[in-house]
Structure formats: C-alpha cells, structure tokens
Amino acid sequence: MQVLVLLLWMGALLGHSSCQNTAGSPEEGSPDPDGTGAPVEEEDPFFKVPVNKLAAAVSNFGYDLYRVRSSMSPTTNVLLSPLSVATALSALSLGAEQRTESVIHRALYYDLINNPDIHGTYKDLLATVTAPQKNLKSASRIVLEKKLRIKSSFVAPLEKSYGTRPRILTGNPRVDLQEINGWVQAQTKGKVARSTKEMSGEISILLLGVAYFKGPWLTKFDSRKTSLKDFYLDEERTVRVPMMSDPQAILRYGLDSDLNCKIGQLPLTGSMSIIFFLPVKVTQNLTLIEESLTSEFIQDIDRELKTVQAVLTIPKLKLSYEGEVTKSLQEMKLQSLFDSPDFSKITGKPIKLTQVEHRAGFEWNEDGAGTTPSPGPQSSHPAFPLDYHLNQPFIFVLRDTDTGALLFIGKILDPRGT
Ligand SMILES: *[C@@H]1O[C@H](CO)[C@@H](O)[C@H](O)[C@H]1NC(C)=O
C-alpha cells in the first residue's frame, strides 16, 4: 500500500515536471509575430532587464568553461567560479582592437546582446553579486609583463567599470608572487590560500580570477543530526563522510525524465540558491546533465520547481581549487588571444595572453539564518515525504536569484576531495 502511494506520488511529480530543456528547441516556441512563418522562442521577461541579460551571457560562457574543465577531469571533483574568469576577460576586451575584441565578445556571448554599454552594465552586475549580503568574494585582475608602458586610455575605463587597475610585473618572480598572494588575500579576506607555485618567467598577459563563498542556508541544519554516512563513489565503492540531514526539509524539487535526474533547490540568505542535479542512478558520468546546462535552462528550472517536503541528506563540503584554466580557454575558440592578438589599446608593444589562473574556495555546513521552515504558498505536505539524498556524485550550481548569474559550479564525485 505504502509503495503504491509512493509510486503515485512520484508519478504526479513526473507529470508536473516541466523542467525540460526548451532552450534551442524552436518548435516549442510561439509563432513568429513578424509573420515570416518561422517559430521563435518567446523570451522570458526576466532576460529583458539589461543586467540579467548580461548575467545570462557571461553565465553561458561559464557553463561552457565548466564543460571543458569537467571533460578534462572525468574522475575528479571540479570547482569553478566562472564569473571571475569572465570578468577578467571582459575587462581585457577593453584593451582589444576590433578583431580581438570580437573574439572575446563571442566567447562571452556579447554578440547576442543588444547593449551599447556592456561595460557599464557589467559594473552593475558586479555591484549586485558582490553586495555584502551575498557573502561572495570575487575579484579579477590583469597582470602584464615587466617594464610595459600602458596607455591611460586603457586604465581609466578599466577602473571605472571593473574597479581594478592592471598590475605590471617587476620581473622578480619571488616579489611578484608575494605581491599577487597579497592581493588575493586582500580580495578574499584571507579565505583563499597563498600560492606556493613558482611564477612562470614567460608571462605577457596573465589573467587572474579569484572567488570564495561560504553563505548560510535560509534554514539551518541541526548539527546533532549530522553523522558519518555512506557516499557512493560509484555502483560498488562507498566512503564514509559527514552528512547533514533534515527529516522535514522544505525543498524545491522536480524530476527531469529527459535527464533522468532529480533536481533540488535550497535557498541561501541574500537572494541566492543552490540547485542540485542528482542522477536517478549512481554514476560518475554526468555528461548528459552537463550538456543541458545553460542560463535559459536554469531559469526555466528556477520557475518550474515545486515546493515539497523532503527527507534531505547532504554532505558537508569544503573545496578549494588553485590552477590554470589556460588550456580550457584555448579550447573555447579563444586560441587566437594566445597567438597574435591585437591589444594595441593597452600598449604599443605586441603582447598576448599567456596564462589564465583561477583560485577558488567554497564551503557549506549546517549554518543557516532561521530554524523554522516557512512553507511557501505552493507547499504541499504529502503523507510520505520525498527522499532527497545527495549521497552519490552530483552537480551543484550556486546562483544569484536577483540577476540569475552563475557564481559557482561544482562536480562532486567525492566530498572528501579538495
Ligand atoms: C557518458 O554518457 C554519455 C551520454 O549519456 C555517453 O555518450 C558517453 O559515452 C558516456 N561517457 C563515458 C565515459 O562513459
């Protein structure tokens, strides 16, 4: 009897689940108002706001970057804050002549935006996502080879829109590493560790993107309910990790039958949320889900998920990343920036991109703002609450609800990993 009811309940969820990827499937759009006969996708009013439209563009770059990074690390965790890399690239485009500028703008999907003041809008985007209540630290920097004379016509707009000044290297690797470490510490309030890696002597243009996030859930977890539980690395192997749980969690949920995945969303303070993609079957192959990730798809999900009560378990997480994303960018139609780009708006000397570095830290634990879950208007309280156990490989997306910006993305194959 219980089984039957549970099946019916799951069936009802299946029926309601409408988080299919409609982006890029024009047959589902409304008829073209111009009467040319070609069906067009009706744009979500959310994307009519210039800052949201820009956030969608740079986030789509972010999902592309994530896919490339993830395919390079099929058996390890991936942690990425693509926004900090996008910001560095967008800032760099201020120094690019037309041919090179359009290479960068295409990668960032700016060619699909009708906005004469991209950099001014970017300033608004950064101001929104780094507001103190968001608990996100994110910073980007352009570092240039030693003795370079740079044009003030590049520095002024860079400072105006991106709040950053380019840094010229001294040529002494120890001094330069120390200075960069000091900058990272200052930007992240000491939350991202100092690098001990030697600086390359071959730097012409180095882009640096750093980010740190640790924010409270809207509803805190009871730490007395946290205990060591099994996490399935794959169908056969398990590891014991600290798992938080809430037997009466209020979760936004949908079962995506195309992706064969259970999508859950938990709110954080400061108009932020984390969306989880949990395959129905235990697998390390998350390709199908990864391929569907776009700003438009995530926006659809955010709209379509239904509030449910769930028995929730979720591993405590503390991840960090330090490394280059240079190779990833080279695979993203940005190779020409590393060959013979035109950055003559920065300096008279021919310079080119040589490295793109990313440092990131990300953490969640039981901390939350409130204890009493406040069910939303759509809330339903089934006799048999849903089970949502993040005890096998999953993907998470940290998203700013105000602008839709992708702030962090992670592939968790083993919660013990860094
Ligand atoms: C992962 O899954 C995708 C589609 O679901 C498939 O095309 C691909 O071959 C799989 N990759 C591996 C390594 O099994």
pLDDT tens per residue, range 268-316: 999 999 999 999 999 999 999 999 999 999 999 999 999 999 999 999 9
Identify whether 223 is part of a domain.
yes
Specify whether 170 is located in the same domain as 256: no
Higher pLDDT, 384 or 163: 163
Element spanning 313, H or E: strand 306-315
Identify whether 12 is part of a domain.
no
Specify whether 170 is located in the same domain as 262: no
Atom of ligand 1 nearest to the CA of 285: 1
**Does the pLDDT at position 232 exceed 60?**
yes
Identify whether 22 is part of a domain.
no
| Residue nearest atom 1 in ligand 1 by C-alpha distance | 285
| Residue nearest atom 8 in ligand 1 by C-alpha distance | 287
Specify whether 90 is located in the same domain as 201: yes
On the CB side of 346, CA atoms within 13 Å amount to 28
> pLDDT band for position 127 (50/70/90)?
very high
Identify whether 24 is part of a domain.
no
**Does the pLDDT at position 131 exceed 80?**
yes
Q: Ligand 1 centre from 260 Cα, in Å?
A: 14
In terms of residue numbers, what domain contains 152?
48-214+320-363
Specify whether 312 is located in the same domain as 340: no
| Residue nearest atom 5 in ligand 1 by C-alpha distance | 288
Atom of ligand 1 nearest to the CA of 288: 5
| Residue nearest atom 11 in ligand 1 by C-alpha distance | 285
Identify whether 98 is part of a domain.
yes
| Residue nearest atom 6 in ligand 1 by C-alpha distance | 287
CATH number of the domain bearing residue 92? 3.30.497.10
DSSP conformation class of 81:
-
Q: Ligand 1 centre from 279 Cα, in Å?
A: 13
pLDDT tens-digit map of 61-86: 999 999 999 999 999 999 999 999 99
* Binding-site residues, ligand 1, Cβ < 6 A: 285, 287-288
| Residue nearest atom 14 in ligand 1 by C-alpha distance | 285
Question: Degrees (nearest 5) of the Cα angle 188, 362, 252?
Answer: 130
Identify whether 43 is part of a domain.
no
Q: Cα–Cα distance between 279 and 391 in angstroms, integer?
A: 11
**Does the pLDDT at position 2 exceed 50?**
no
**Does the pLDDT at position 227 exceed 70?**
yes
Q: Cα–Cα distance between 350 and 23 in angstroms, integer?
A: 40
Specify whether 388 is located in the same domain as 355: no
pLDDT tens-digit map of 337-369: 999 999 999 999 999 999 999 999 999 999 999
Q: Ligand 1 centre from 291 Cα, in Å?
A: 11
What one-letter code names the amino acid at 162?
Answer: Y
Specify whether 234 is located in the same domain as 379: yes
Higher pLDDT, 151 or 30: 151
Number of domains in the chain: 2
Closest CA to 390 of 247, 273, 237, 230: 230
**Does the pLDDT at position 40 exceed 80?**
no
Specify whether 307 is located in the same domain as 251: yes
Atom of ligand 1 nearest to the CA of 74: 13
Q: What is the pLDDT of residue 371?
A: 74
Q: Ligand 1 centre from 246 Cα, in Å?
A: 33
CB 367 within 8 A of CB 217: yes
Q: Ligand 1 centre from 231 Cα, in Å?
A: 22
**Does the pLDDT at position 36 exceed 80?**
no
Q: Ligand 1 centre from 285 Cα, in Å?
A: 6
Specify whether 348 is located in the same domain as 398: no
β-strand pairing of 261-268 with 272-279: antiparallel
Specify whether 329 is located in the same domain as 187: yes
Q: Ligand 1 centre from 287 Cα, in Å?
A: 6
Mean pLDDT, the chain, rounded, equals 89
Q: What is the pLDDT of residue 25?
A: 41
CATH number of the domain bearing residue 225? 2.30.39.10
Dihedral angle sign, alpha carbons of residues 297, 302, 304, 305: positive
Specify whether 275 is located in the same domain as 126: no
Q: Is 235 helix (H, G, I), strand (E, B) or coil?
A: coil
Among residues 328, 348, 363, the one where a domain terminates is 363
Specify whether 355 is located in the same domain as 370: no
Residue 53 has phi, psi (to 5 degrees) of: -65, -45
Q: Ligand 1 centre from 286 Cα, in Å?
A: 8
Residue of 285, 289, 292 with the most ligand 1 atoms within 8 Å of its CB, for mutation: 285
Residue of 72, 260, 287 with the most ligand 1 atoms within 8 Å of its CB, for mutation: 287
Q: What is the pLDDT of residue 42?
A: 73
Q: Ligand 1 centre from 288 Cα, in Å?
A: 8
Q: Cα–Cα distance between 225 and 247 in angstroms, integer?
A: 9
Identify whether 307 is part of a domain.
yes
Specify whether 402 is located in the same domain as 298: yes
The pTM for the full model equals: 0.89
| Residue nearest atom 13 in ligand 1 by C-alpha distance | 285
Closest CA to 187 of 160, 203, 164, 170: 164
Identify whether 28 is part of a domain.
no
